[in-house]
Amino acid sequence: MRHNPALTDGHHIQLIEGGQAYFESLTQALDQAQSHVLLETYIFDVHGAAVGVAEALERAALRGVRVWLLVDGVGTPQFPDVWRTRLEKAGVECRIYLPLGTLGLLIPSRWRRLHRKLCVVDGHTAFCGGINILDDWYDPHHGTLARPRLDFAVRAQGELVGHIQDSMAQLWWRLQGAQHARDRQIPQAWRSFKAAGLPLPWKQSPPLPDGSLPSSRAALLLRDNVLHRNQIERAYLKAIGLARHEVLIANAYFLPGRRLRQALVHAARRGVRVRLLVQGRYEYFMQYHAARPVYGTLLAAGVEIYQYDASFLHAKVAVVDAHHERPWATVGSSNLDPLSLLLAREANVAVADRVFAQGLHLRLNEVIATQSTPVAESFKHRFWHQRWRDRVAFGLMRLALFITGHRY
């Protein structure tokens, strides 16, 4: 797709913070499903609060709702046998996106992961964001957390729900067609690939009554390796380029490429207040340390960088000019790093609505003021071994990208 999709009116977009609130809203929608449910996630860890989502999928399938569940082969390498049996017995259709196989991530093409967190219920309600099906107070690598991770999602109604559903259905049919082709079931493969371009094979729920939705302008932003290679990055670049007062970005894995770095620097130099909220506690050594060498250029241009200290930051959100004439915000799964912007399948929702933008802006301001610290002084006084470690991580990241044939 050459151009970004236009933001259209007639949407209801609700901001959701944290897994607990997200799971409550999601399970409520699943329990009301009558026709079909499509769910994609990078991680589905059936532990703690996430059990409720698995049970809601099971209940939906048992009452005759068609349920498709797609998880990533790295984020969820092995779905628990007990739960996979329970869900499939209930009628849930489960699929794993690109299982790693024997050589795992030694094959560069396997780095192209499904990182989207999407759900569509009956064709009229959708969820999109950065929240995995993972208990907020638990981490598979770190165990029980002292405080819940910080993350966001949206619940949406309106035209973009159909766009989300189409994208999810196309991916499902293509994966099914590829599996049939590997099994040399050519007629079945042909039917699946053909179905990828057709409407879903079950009845759609009726649209919501006229006047039931506030007039919020919104659009779906995608990233894949075919038609939407740069859609999310272009949306960020346009929003930052049009900013006149403030850019506020909270991003878990922040390692922007040259164009994004230049856009942030130019915005700061023309008088726009640019603030970044990044991880203070990190989950992955490489992404955290590889990002730090770019801080110097941004700080020198006047960009303010804060690190979130209270727990793990997993948010991928941004707000531009929230209190002015052209507010813009985005919530989704895409980090501003090479894994998200060059390799993974991602999905964000962009919203041009003052009330929505101001709500997200207010919450991020609170987090920066009470749970974060500026990095300027600590960055300036890093020891030599810290600088060396950051440079090595940055070099290894660039080498990995070179192997995949990308420049960043």
Q: How far apart, in Å, are the Cα atoms of 134 and each of 130, 144, 195, 294?
A: 11, 12, 32, 31
Query: Catalytic residue at 321?
Result: yes
Question: Of 151, 224, 321, 337, which is the active-site residue?
Answer: 321
Distance in angstroms (rounded) separating the CA atoms of residues 36 and 283: 35
3-state secondary structure of 272: coil
Largest CA distance in the chain: 64
Distance in angstroms (rounded) separating the CA atoms of residues 90 and 82: 12
Instruction: To the nearest 10°, report the CA torsion of 310, 312, 318, 322.
Output: -20
Query: What 8-state DSSP symbol labels residue 283?
Result: S
Query: Catalytic residue at 316?
Result: yes
Query: Catalytic residue at 314?
Result: yes
Chain centroid offset of residue 373 CA: 25
Q: Are strands 216-223 and 8-17 parallel, antiparallel or unpaired?
A: antiparallel
Question: Of 122, 136, 151, 353, which is the active-site residue?
Answer: 122
Question: Of 11, 117, 163, 180, which is the active-site residue?
Answer: 117
Question: Of 124, 180, 289, 314, which is the active-site residue?
Answer: 314
Question: Of 289, 316, 361, 390, which is the active-site residue?
Answer: 316
Q: How far apart, in Å, are the Cα atoms of 391 and each of 279, 291, 384, 388?
A: 18, 9, 11, 5
Spatial CB neighbours of 321, under 8 Å, sequence gap ≥ 6: 243, 244, 245, 246, 327, 328, 357
Query: Catalytic residue at 115?
Result: yes
Question: Of 11, 36, 115, 289, which is the active-site residue?
Answer: 115
- Residue 40's DSSP bridge partners are 70, 118
For residue 209, which phi and psi values (nearest 5 degrees)? Answer: -60, 150
Positions marked catalytic: 115, 117, 122, 314, 316, 321
